[in-house]
Amino acid sequence: MCADDCRFIDGFPGTHKIAMRFLMIAFIAVGAYAVFLHNWVWGWIYVAVVVLGQALLVLPNLCGHCPYPHERNDCLLLPAGLVRKFIPYRGPEIGRGGSLAMVVGGVGSVLIPQFWLFREPLLFILFWAALLPFLAYFTLYLCKRCRHTGCPANRVPEMLIQ
């Protein structure tokens, strides 16, 4: 039988939502601050990459396929009503192009500020102190329990999906 750590979760506790939203905003804000400290033009480019990358790549390709905001009225990173208002449900399966688009949208948020973060050791530490638990939550917790069975990162055992 499957242990407790591989059961589907039906929704997200308020503490998880607060923590994940805080961590996401924190690493992006610290990255933006580090870039703006040294170069205003690149600071605005970074902000644009984050906003547009999330709006055009991540949200449609992840949230558009996620059952939580559309079927369970819940969302980890944004209010579910906001997701439903702007992102129509497109079914559970995320294609390879959608998966690649999500990666590109997320990687830009992480890689672009690194050059400037290396110049600011305290900001570098703060950035990674927010980003690592954010990423760990997905890989070590959520991806083993998520109802989004069409997501390529989902690691729910096959016996529970059927």
pLDDT tens-digit readout, 71-130: 999 999 999 999 999 999 999 899 999 999 999 999 999 999 999 999 999 999 999 999
Contact 72, 11 (CB under 8 A): yes
Sequence spans of domains, the chain: 11-134
**Phi, psi angles (nearest 5°) of residue 4:** -60, -30
What's the mean pLDDT when you consider all of the chain? 92
Threshold 0.85, pTM exceeds = yes
Contact 119, 31 (CB under 8 A): no
